[in-house]
Structure 1
Amino acid sequence: MEDRKNILILFFIVFMTICCNDTQSLQNEKKVFIKQLDFGYKEYFVCYDKDTSQCSCIFSPDRDYGLCVKLYRSPNEKYFFRYIDKDENDTTAFGGFKKPREKIFRSPTSAEMINEIKQCLSVASKKYNLNKLYHFSFRLSYWCDVAIQTSEILEKENKLNVIKHADIDKALEKTSLKDSLMNIFGCYGKTIKKIVCYELITLLRKEYLKNYSPLYKDSHCPNEIVDVEVFVYFDDTH
């Protein structure tokens, strides 16, 4: 009887181990979704099981310049779901712009975001020749740690009060951005020609970053975070 009891206990332990492993595997499963947008644009983004990432890569072939990729990030909006209205508990089927969101998308860390971009590029490379990539663009606030690093540099140089685009360009050179970009695009033979910012410069309260990163709670984080559109241009393919 005792032997039989021990066998049953052993069987239960093995069964639970298998179930837990399967569950963990399911939770860690990642998949890249693709959405055809208007005018030939395509949106690529990653889902962790049923949890959609905030980040999207928007691919737009340009007839004159080549392939352009834009990083889009939102805590509760995504082009992919604009016309879908399903279960709000599943962000992979969450209803677009139709109504206020009660459940926000998954906020990746900067390291996770880099890996997500790499995954999107890997899938997109089956459709696009990434060797023809012309530029990559994003709002600086989307790349939280770089936005914080840039703001810290400008604050130390007393340039947060009157900020020029050239000041941001120089500050970006001192951050981890270029190394991160080469980690993403280097495997496609791309080298960076220049990194520059354009458009309106704004200062965001650090609390704004709470939708994107826990880094805003850092006591060393400046109270104001610079935000601007950043363009990364790649050298021409030879």
Structure 2
Amino acid sequence: MEDRKNILILFFIVFMTICCNGTQSLQNEKKVFIKQLDFGHKEYFVCYDKDTSQCSCIFSPVYYYGLCVELYRSPNEKYFFRYMNKDENDTTAFGGFKKPREKIFRSPTSAEMIDEIKQCLSVASKNNNLNKLYHFSFRLSYWCDVAIQTSEILEKENKLNVIRHADIDKALEKTSLKDSLMNIFGCYGKTIKEIACCEIISLLRKENLQDYSPLYKDSNCPNEIVDVEVIVSFDDAH
């Protein structure tokens, strides 16, 4: 009788452990949030339980051409958030452009950022035809690993002092960017037509990347990191 009682107690302990672990995994599950913005724009971003990512994917309908996606990244700003009465440790409760945040959003690694973009696309694909994706854009500094790789190439070629857009384009071809993009968009049947930079070229001190990447501490990392708008054009939308 005693043995039977002990077996029942052991079974109960194991059962409760499984239930608790299952609940914990659900609580820590990554979730995609969506915010409807003005003029048909939508913001998608990932939240890790109560920890919100710095990255957002802004979907913009461009009539006559197709769908455009912009990667936006900020340590303390997000279109989605407005102040609400919640636990101050919950980053899903704070934000907005008008009031600076004391808390910063979660800084994903480049691998995590790629995974986040893929998750946002997966959710967006339920209401958008991603075959019509026309282009994808981002600031180079947002993609920290690629920004550092690009700067290293330009530094070796002695082109960091006087940088042309064409020099950055050629340097980007030697980075991991294209492979990463195909990893993200290839499953939607997209092929890359062109990767080109535009707008004003600026040089950031490597310390400016501290909210985006731990790689800025690398002693081999150039002291100045090139930053520019990058436009990725895909094959014709169909």
Q: TM-score of the superposition, structure 1-length normalised?
A: 0.92
User: 1:161 maps to what in 2?
Assistant: 161
- How many angstroms does 1:12 deviate by? 4.6
Contact 2:206 2:224 in 1 (8 A): yes
User: 1:72 maps to what in 2?
Assistant: 72
Contact 2:78 2:95 in 1 (8 A): no
Contact 1:86 1:95 in 2 (8 A): no
* Alignment partners' CA distance in 1, 2:62 and 2:103: 35
- How many angstroms does 1:95 deviate by? 3.4
Tell me the SS of whatever aligns to 2:35: strand
User: 1:33 maps to what in 2?
Assistant: 33
Contact 1:202 1:227 in 2 (8 A): yes
User: 1:190 maps to what in 2?
Assistant: 190
Tell me the SS of whatever aligns to 2:80: helix
- How many angstroms does 1:8 deviate by? 5.2
Q: Percent identity?
A: 80
One-letter amino acid of the structure 2 residue matched with residue 19 of structure 1: C
Gaps of 5+ in 1: none
- How many angstroms does 1:11 deviate by? 5.0
Tell me the SS of whatever aligns to 1:80: coil
Tell me the SS of whatever aligns to 1:22: helix
One-letter amino acid of the structure 1 residue matched with residue 38 of structure 2: D
User: 1:86 maps to what in 2?
Assistant: 85
In the alignment, does 2:54 pair up with 1:46? no
Task: Tell which deviates more after alignment, 159-168 or 215-224.
Answer: 215-224
Contact 1:86 1:94 in 2 (8 A): no
In the alignment, does 2:118 pair up with 1:118? yes
- How many angstroms does 1:15 deviate by? 3.5
- How many angstroms does 1:237 deviate by? 3.7
User: 1:23 maps to what in 2?
Assistant: 24
* Alignment partners' CA distance in 2, 1:127 and 1:210: 35
What is the number of residues matched between the two proteins? 236
Deviations 1:15-65 (A, max 9, x none): 3464245324422x1111111111111101111111111100000111132
1:169-184 equivalent positions in 2, closer than 5 A: 169-184=169-184
Change (3 A) 1:230 1:8: same
Q: TM-score of the superposition, structure 2-length normalised?
A: 0.92
1:138-157 equivalent positions in 2, closer than 5 A: 138-157=138-157
* Alignment partners' CA distance in 1, 2:135 and 2:143: 17
Gaps of 5+ in 2: none
User: 1:63 maps to what in 2?
Assistant: 63
Tell me the SS of whatever aligns to 1:196: strand
- How many angstroms does 1:93 deviate by? 1.9
* Alignment partners' CA distance in 1, 2:71 and 2:152: 23
Contact 1:109 1:213 in 2 (8 A): yes
* Alignment partners' CA distance in 1, 2:146 and 2:111: 12
One-letter amino acid of the structure 2 residue matched with residue 200 of structure 1: I
Change (3 A) 1:86 1:226: farther
* Alignment partners' CA distance in 2, 1:219 and 1:14: 50
One-letter amino acid of the structure 1 residue matched with residue 20 of structure 2: C
- How many angstroms does 1:7 deviate by? 7.0
- How many angstroms does 1:97 deviate by? 2.7
